[in-house]
């Protein structure tokens, strides 16, 4: 038996079997168990007199004596039927249970119980079907009070959880406070032991709320402490400054076929400032799709080369890494900057290149950097302290023979416009630059919601545009058809589209293809050989084909709004009028309404906010890998609460930088596992 489950087995009802199931739920000790919060609470505190019951479909609790009980087997359906009659001072009601033969022995005639259930009326009067019941006592558990409802689990019922938690009441009531007394006082928080008691066994809905507020505060505070600890960690690290050379920047700008927008200039300036410091920059560059983030960081990388340093740029996909390499190489060539492409499938450019472009695998492969000093992470921000440490090295061992290690500067790019509250919650004070406007006066993309009946509209537009020598994307969520998921697949669509447009060259792209094939298909699409590309969301991030003017999104209900905005951003990347069609595979009013909302809004920030409100941060950040971002009680959209937690964190760390006074709290903060930027 695992040692860790021993503690749990001292609790009533927790034997080896239950302990094992709990372990499956990641509950390995009493602390985990106490922090296994109900997912909801049901107010059964009102006891109703039988005479006052109404068959309204609502749940009621009565307190009544069992006057009669009998169990028999129904001859037709061969199921057990338990029938009983309960009486209180005001009247009587019949109770019926199906297929629970054990009730015969567990329910006792003449005893008083709480019964909770929905009330019905038939010709014999009122009845409750399958009511929950519990012996009357001063401390009822399942009725006659506000009861906790625990997350469903096939082997442990909510009722069982209640029993287990009841065995912990005393332990919880003595649970030590994790916050300094001054913080509890200043922020008027419920003491932790009270909050934990209330969350499991609330006295009233009001006290339950104060308990939720307290525990949500702890969650937000933990995040904010983590962020500030990371900041403090970075401040203490050494980095080589990359001095700003205005003359050089001017020279690069002269090479470009366009002028930088004001927001691009602003962001570039902020980045150059940041990387000229002696501690590592950690900056997030946010900008809507197509706002022109790439060129901004390309200039920073040229600046790094000019100061004698290497840079690395990491993209989330091979396709994107390739595109960055191809698009940026001419500019780098002109600036006497060598560039290499390193992915699992490709290996181009010199071994000692000034700039290395690759996928995220780059840092784990043994690419040898001599003096890496700037790392750009495109479109994905799974970058925590751990990954940074992996890149930590003595950047100039010849120039700096001392033992000091240096961290490169980090810039992450994201096209997921992060709403302010979320940015604050996740990034705290981390530095963010925003490219607010898009280059030039590009026409607004015309977006239309279609149905199965009107999907012809999309096909006609695709044909029309292809005739003008423009190109189109068709996106579907799945690679192959699935028996369990009702959504379109690209393989299916590919066949369908080939039939629909027999004279048009159609391509198929998805993550399951070999990297070399993917690369070839992208090349053929870029060169215009392929006119219509049927693809999964691998095209979502970053692909830049200015000649593409139509995108049609199948099974659109499966995508978050921010994600669809990304997809839509694959078109409208030139002065050509572009079109986006969203086609849900379910004809559902709510879905259509949400998609209509999307069609109306062209602002990534507003869409992200909508996603955050309706679907939570998961819709914006994809599958959440890090516990860092998961809250049980706190609300991501509560900017006010986040600000308060941030202030509290700051005050705490000022007084006690290592949190030595709050060891319990400190043990929850692990900056090595924390995710700094995550998309
Ligand atoms: P994203 O911010 O989505 O990564 P990109 O960096 O790929 O966008 O830029 C989108 C397109 O806009 C590219 O073709 C790029 O060359 C072009 N671009 C960037 N900045 C400007 C600008 N200031 N004026 C015109 N076009 C620009
Ligand atoms: Mg990009």
Could you tell me the CA-to-CA distances from 118 to 62, 96, 103, 172, 182 in Å, in that order?
Answer: 11, 11, 19, 33, 48
Cβ 290 under 6 angstroms from ligand 1: yes
Least distant ligand from the CA of 436: 1
Give the closest residue (by CA) to ligand 1 atom 9: 292
CA 177, CA 191: separation in Å to the nearest integer?
7
Predicted TM-score of the model (pTM): 0.72
CA–centroid distance, residue 492 to ligand 2 (Å): 29
For residue 451 and ligand 1, the question of a CB distance below 6 A is answered with no
Q: For the residues of 485-533, what is the DSSP string, one character each?
A: --S-BHHHHHHHHHHH-TTS-EEEE-TTS-HHHHHHHHHHHHTTS--EE
Residue 403, phi then psi, degrees to nearest 5 = -85, 0
Partners of residue 602 on adjacent β-strands? none
Give the Å distance between the CA of 264 and the centre of ligand 1.
10
pLDDT at position 400: 53
Counting atoms of ligand 1 from 1, which one is nearest the CA of 379?
4
* Residue 53: predicted pLDDT: 93
Could you give the CA distance from residue 279 to residue 269 in angstroms, rounded to a whole number?
Answer: 17
Q: What are 448's two structure tokens?
A: 């239309």
> Using an 8 Å Cβ cutoff, are 411 and 374 in contact?
yes
Q: Can you name the CATH fold of 46-144?
A: OB fold (Dihydrolipoamide Acetyltransferase, E2P) (2.40.50)
pLDDT in tens, 100-141: 888 888 899 999 999 999 998 888 788 999 998 888 887 788
Residue 415 Cα to ligand 2 middle (Å): 7
Query: Which of 439, 441, 545, 565 to mutate for ligand 1's pocket (most ligand atoms within 8 Å of CB)?
Result: 439
CA of 223 from ligand 2 middle (Å) equals 28
- CA neighbor of 662 nearest in space, from 36, 210, 184: 184
> How far is the centre of ligand 1, averaged over its atoms, from the C-alpha of 546 (Å)?
10
CB of 490 shorter than 6 A to ligand 1? no
- What is the domain class of 446-601 according to CATH? alpha beta
CA nearest neighbour of 44 among 169, 137, 132: 132
- Nearest-ligand number for the alpha carbon of 268: 1
Among protein residues, the one whose CA lies closest to atom 14 of ligand 1: 544
Does the beta carbon of 543 sit less than 6 angstroms from any atom of ligand 1?
A: no
Beta strands in 183-334 (DSSP E): 282-287, 310-315
Residue 517 Cα distances to 148, 318, 410, 511, 548, angstroms? 54, 11, 32, 11, 21
The b/e string for 282-312 (b: 16+ C-beta within 10 A; e otherwise) is bbbbbbbbbbbbbbbbbbbbbbbbbbebbbb
Ligand 1 contact via 565 beta carbon (within 6 Å): no
Please answer whether residues 177 and 192 qualify as being in contact, where contact means their C-beta atoms are separated by less than 8 angstroms: yes
Same fold, 246-435 and 446-601: yes
What is the C-alpha separation between 557 and 586, in angstroms, rounded? Answer: 8
311 in contact with ligand 1, CB cutoff 6 A: no
Q: Is the CB of 287 under 6 A from ligand 1?
A: yes
Residue 628: predicted pLDDT: 47
Strand, coil or helix: 44: coil
Tokens of 560: 């978050």
Q: Is the minimum distance from the CB of 180 to ligand 1 under 6 angstroms?
A: no
**Pocket test residue of 290, 327, 412 for ligand 1, highest count of atoms within 8 A of CB:** 290
Q: For residue 396, give the H/E element and its range.
A: none
260 lines ligand 1 (CB under 6 A): yes
Ligand minimally distant from the alpha carbon of residue 547: 1
Which CATH number applies to 246-435: 3.40.50.300, 1.20.810.10, 3.40.50.1860, 3.40.50.2300?
3.40.50.300
From the CA of 323, how far away is ligand 2's center (Å)? Answer: 10
| Burial zone of 316 (CB within 10 Å; 0-12 exposed, 13-18 middle, 19+ buried) | buried
The whole-angstrom separation of Cα 518 and Cα 512 is 9
Instruction: Determine the distance separating the centroid of ligand 1 and the alpha carbon of 574, expressed in angstroms.
Output: 9
Q: Where are the domains of the chain?
A: 46-144, 246-435, 446-601
Give yes or no for residue 145 CB within 6 A of ligand 1. no
User: Does the beta carbon of 547 lie inside 6 Å of ligand 1?
Assistant: no
Compute the radius of gyration of the chain from its Cα atoms. 31
Indicate which atom in ligand 1 lies nearest the CA of residue 260. Answer: 23
Residue 577 class from Cβ within 10 Å (0-12 exposed, 13-18 middle, 19+ buried)? middle
Which secondary structure element, helix H or strand E, spans residue 271, and what is its range?
helix 262-275
296 CB-near residues (< 8 Å, 6+ apart): 260, 264, 267, 268, 271, 285, 435
Q: Which residues of the chain have pLDDT under 70?
A: 1-6, 363-366, 380-404, 416-417, 419-430, 440-441, 540-542, 615-630, 671-679
DSSP character at residue 240: -
């Amino acid at each position: 038996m695992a040692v860790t489950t021993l503690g749990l087995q001292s609790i009533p009802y927790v034997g080896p079997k239950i302990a094992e199931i709990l372990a499956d739920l990641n509950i390995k000790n009493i602390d985990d168990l106490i922090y296994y919060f109900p997912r909801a609470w049901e107010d059964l505190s009102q006891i109703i007199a039988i005479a006052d019951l109404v068959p309204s479909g609502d749940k009621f609790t009565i307190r009544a004596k069992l006057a009669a009980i009998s169990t028999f087997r129904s001859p037709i359906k061969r199921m057990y039927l338990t029938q009983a009659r309960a009486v209180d001072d005001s009247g009587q009601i019949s109770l019926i249970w199906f297929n629970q033969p054990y009730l015969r022995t567990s329910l006792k005639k003449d005893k008083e119980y709480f019964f909770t259930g929905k009330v019905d009326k038939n010709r014999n009067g009122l009845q409750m079907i399958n009511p929950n019941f519990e012996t009357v006592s001063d401390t009822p558990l399942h009725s006659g009070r506000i009861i906790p409802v625990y997350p469903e689990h096939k082997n442990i019922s909510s009722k069982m959880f209640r029993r287990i938690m009841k065995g912990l009441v005393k332990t919880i009531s003595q649970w030590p406070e994790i916050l300094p007394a001054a913080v509890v006082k200043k922020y008027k928080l419920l003491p932790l032991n009270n909050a934990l008691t209330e969350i499991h066994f609330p006295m009233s809905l009001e006290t339950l709320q104060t308990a939720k507020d307290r525990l949500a505060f702890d969650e937000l505070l933990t995040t904010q402490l983590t962020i500030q600890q990371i900041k403090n960690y970075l401040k203490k690290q050494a980095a080589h400054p990359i001095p700003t050379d205005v003359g050089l920047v001017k020279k690069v700008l002269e090479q470009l076929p366009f002028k930088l927008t004001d927001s691009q200039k602003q962001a570039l300036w902020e980045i150059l400032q940041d990387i000229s410091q002696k501690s590592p920059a950690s900056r997030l560059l946010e900008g809507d799709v197509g706002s022109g983030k790439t060129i901004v960081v390309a200039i920073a990388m040229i600046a790094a080369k000019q100061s004698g340093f290497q840079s690395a740029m990491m993209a989330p996909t091979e396709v994107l890494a390739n595109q960055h390499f191809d698009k940026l190489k001419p500019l780098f060539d002109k600036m006497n900057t060598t560039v290499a492409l390193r992915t699992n499938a490709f290996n181009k450019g010199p071994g000692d290149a000034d700039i290395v472009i690759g996928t995220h695998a780059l840092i784990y492969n043994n690419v040898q950097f001599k003096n890496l000093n700037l790392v750009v992470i495109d479109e994905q921000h799974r970058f925590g302290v751990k990954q940074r440490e992996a890149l930590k090295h003595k950047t100039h061992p010849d120039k700096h023979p001392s033992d000091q290690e240096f961290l490169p500067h980090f810039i992450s790019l994201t096209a997921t416009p992060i709403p302010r509250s979320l940015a604050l919650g996740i990034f705290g004070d981390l530095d963010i630059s925003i490219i607010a406007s898009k280059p030039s006066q590009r026409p607004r993309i015309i977006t239309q919601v279609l149905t199965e009946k009107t999907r012809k509209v999309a096909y006609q537009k695709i044909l029309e545009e292809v005739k003008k020598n423009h190109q189109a994307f068709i996106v579907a969520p799945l690679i192959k058809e699935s028996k369990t998921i009702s959504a379109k697949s690209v393989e299916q669509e590919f066949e369908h589209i080939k039939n629909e447009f027999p004279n048009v060259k159609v391509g198929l792209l998805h993550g399951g293809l070999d990297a070399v094939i993917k690369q070839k298909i992208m090349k053929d699409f870029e060169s215009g050989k392929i006119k219509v590309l049927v693809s999964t969301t691998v095209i979502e991030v970053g692909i830049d084909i200015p000649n593409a003017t139509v995108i049609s999104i199948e099974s659109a209900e499966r995508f978050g709004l921010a994600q669809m905005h990304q997809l839509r951003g694959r078109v409208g990347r030139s002065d050509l009028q572009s079109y986006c069609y969203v086609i849900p595979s379910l004809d559902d009013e709510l879905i259509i309404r949400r998609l209509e909302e999307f069609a109306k809004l062209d602002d990534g920030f507003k869409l992200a906010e909508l996603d955050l409100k309706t679907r939570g941060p998961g819709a914006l950040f994809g599958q959440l890998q890090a516990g860092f971002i998961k809250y049980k009680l706190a609300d991501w959209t509560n900017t006010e609460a986040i600000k308060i937690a941030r202030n509290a964190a700051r005050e705490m760390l000022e007084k006690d930088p290592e949190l030595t006074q709050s060891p319990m709290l400190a043990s929850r903060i692990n900056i090595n596992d924390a995710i700094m930027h995550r998309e």
